[in-house]
A and B are shown apart, each in its own frame.
Chain A
Amino acid sequence: MALERWFRRNRPSKKEDDNSPAGLWLKCDSCGAQIYRKDLVANSYVCPECSHHHRVPADARVAMLADEGTFEVWSGLIEAQDALEFVDTQAYPERLTKARQKVGRPDAILTGGALLDGQPVALVVMDFSFLGGSMGSVVGEEIASATERAAAEGRTLIAVTSSGGARMQEGALSLMQMAKTTVALEALSRAHLPYISVLTDPTTGGVTASFATLGDVIFAEPGALISFAGPRVIQQTIRQDLPAGFQRSEFLLQKGMVDDVVDRRELRARIADVINLLRSGLAQPEEEEALRVAAL
């Protein structure tokens, strides 16, 4: 249901044109300052004036987290089918074709292996610019297989989410991706490997209600909208104004739902610290047992 936000606001608009790679200058959504595009990119897409966190393209996100030259792409070998033959104001295959042309990948997800500060990780990065980062069969499968591959290869899983939720055009199959991504996490748990979830603007609906909020450690970027139901749906339900900052990262920190709100420019270092700490605990009991046996 939270997809409404994407469909309403992010139809090709003038604003988006201003933010296109071609534009040399752009205007900060938050403070209105004119920013030189290169400065914004160099500052991790954070406004140098007001620190507003702008959305980051998936490739740029990978570049911010992976040690240089270590990222190996895993995703991109599968694409969606139109199992429902879904047509609304446009047919689903048309929407897919347009999104693929615009974004240059088969679906709303980029995954791969990398080193982060020398630690082996699997990166799962959602791409909001592809149909609102919505989760259908392909996104679900890419996440589940990256998770299982992380478990098999002894990598920490890092998911960076930005999504309007489940993809309506794949109906109940999309709903089932919530279960699929969640059951895949079990392999990681059994291998005692960390899962760090980074919630970015916006993370809503079926993504929030599945793998996104199951991280061992959950970080949120400042000011991100993170919710189950979208603000408009809630407003319509309760028919009263929502409190300021409702469903934003800082609000969720206060409510105990995320471990910390982390500035994007510090994110990589904070993740590296957490991985180092989580992966240096006492030996797991089985390993102890194995060590004892080996010593005999």
Chain B
Amino acid sequence: MSLPFEKPIEDLEAKIRDMRAYAAEQEIDLASEVEALQDRLDRLKRDTYENLTRWQRVQVARAAGRPTGLDYLQRTFDDFTELHGDRTLGDDPAVVTGLARLAGTSVIVIAQQKGRDTKENIHRNFGMSHPSGYRKAMRMFDLADKFRLPVIALIDTPGAYPGLAAEEQGQAWVIAESIRRMSQLTVPAISVVIGEGGSGGALAIGVANRVLILENAIYSVISPESCAAILWRDAGEAEKAAEALRLTARDLIALEVVDRVVDEPLGGAHNDPAGAMALVKQALVEELAFLASMSPEQLLESRYKRFRVLGRFQAVAAA
């Protein structure tokens, strides 16, 4: 289960466990030794997690055991009522949508859902939506506007599904429509990249007033693997591509693509899901309180401005 760079941490944890067991067995006092090791462990964790390379963060963002959309729906929100189906093509399991309460406020939640095990991953298509999933999201935007429910979108997808049926049903068309529809919401919208923000498939539910990202989540125009396959002509160069793409939370704050980084517990969300979800909840409550005071016109205008200014360019030097 552990990630390659977590091996030294795991080894040290095992050592501490062994020492405790040994102390209990032999009825001897090794408290000070255990404490010293514990200190070493904390330092090691901090050093490791503060200095992760971009490629290591990609691995953390995709790690098994990291809380998924449904985990948040069950633990961060109350009274979740799932609403199924797009009313046209079907019900896409890669996107879970419905009504819920966040600390007492009724909201619409749209969550991209990866599986928590192989079986669920197959059922959820590894979090890769078909057009139906985006149509379902757009139906939720309509409900949100009609009943004045704030929208919370949890982003976690490798990307929209690149398949035959998806193309036939207009994958590009629904992503474009979803971007447009979300930008027109008259209620507060908050998007949180909780794991993997994969390209247009993520942006389709990312046109929010506030875009948050977890400390070890990533958000990118293309996966490091695909980027490497194109530019280096070798998917094995994904590590280089990950560095070049500047896809970590820290990078994205600097580029003003995201508004706020939500810290994860030391060791990452996959090692402390409950702790991570509590931190996300706190951030969402604060953001929602801030947006709740804005009028529909202000929400529309500020969302428009937020996305209209993004990009880096300069005046052409006079010839």
Contacts and interface: CB of A to CB of B under 8 A. Distances in A.
A253 interface: no
Contacts of B160: 209, 228
Nearest to B316: A79
A174 B162 contact: no
Contacts of A144: 308
Q: Which of A78, A141, A176, A233 has the most CB of B within 10 A?
A: A176
Nearest to A247: B167
Nearest to B206: A179
Contact of B200 (A4, A206, A255): A206
B180 A77 contact: no
Which range holds the interface residue count of chain A? 35 or more
A69 B201 CA distance: 42
A87 B164 CA distance: 33
Given A168-B222, A228-B167, A175 B199 contact: yes
Contacts of A213: 170, 172-173, 176
Nearest to A107: B313
Interface string A225-243: 0011100011001100011
A84 B310 contact: no
Contacts of B313: 78-81, 137-138, 141
Secondary structure call for the B interface = helix
B106 interface: no
A24 to B, nearest CB: 32
A83 B316 contact: no
A49 to B, nearest CB: 31
B179 A182 contact: yes
Interface string A184-215: 11100000000000000000011011111110
A10 to B, nearest CB: 13
Contacts of B112: none
A127 interface: no
A76 to B, nearest CB: 7
Contact of B221 (A106, A166, A233, A246): A166
B247 interface: yes
A7 interface: yes
Given A172-B252, A175-B221, A209-B200, A137 B316 contact: no
Nearest to B201: A209
B230 A234 contact: no
Contact of B310 (A179, A210, A211): A179
Interface string B280-319: 0000000000000000000000011001101111111000
Interface in B159-208: 160-164, 166-173, 175-177, 179-180, 183-184, 199-200, 203, 206-207
Contacts of A172: 219-221, 245-247, 251-252, 255, 257
B95 interface: no
Contacts of A174: 221
A33 to B, nearest CB: 31
Given A88-B244, A238-B163, A186 B311 contact: no
Given A106-B316, A257-B173, A179 B255 contact: no
B246 A84 contact: yes
B232 interface: yes
Interface in B220-235: 220-222, 226-227, 229-232
Interface string B243-264: 0111100011001010000000
Contacts of A175: 199-200, 203, 219-221, 257
A83 B255 contact: yes
Contact of B166 (A184, A208, A214, A228): A228
B222 A141 contact: no
B314 A214 contact: no
A5 B259 CA distance: 34
A27 B28 CA distance: 88
A35 interface: no
A171 interface: yes
A140 interface: yes
Contacts of B207: 179, 182-183
30 contacts: A1-B162, A1-B199, A1-B226, A4-B229, A78-B313, A80-B313, A81-B314, A86-B244, A87-B244, A89-B232, A166-B221, A168-B221, A172-B246, A173-B257, A176-B257, A179-B203, A182-B179, A182-B180, A182-B183, A183-B183, A206-B199, A209-B171, A209-B176, A210-B176, A228-B160, A228-B166, A228-B200, A233-B162, A246-B164, A255-B168
Interface of A: 1, 3-4, 7, 76-81, 83-84, 86-89, 106, 136-138, 140-141, 144, 166-168, 170-180, 182-186, 205-206, 208-214, 227-229, 233-234, 237-238, 242-243, 246-247, 255-257
Interface of B: 160-164, 166-173, 175-177, 179-180, 183-184, 199-200, 203, 206-207, 219-222, 226-227, 229-232, 240-241, 244-247, 251-252, 255, 257, 303-304, 307-308, 310-316
Given A87-B244, A229-B162, 4 more contacts: A80-B313, A81-B312, A228-B175, A255-B168
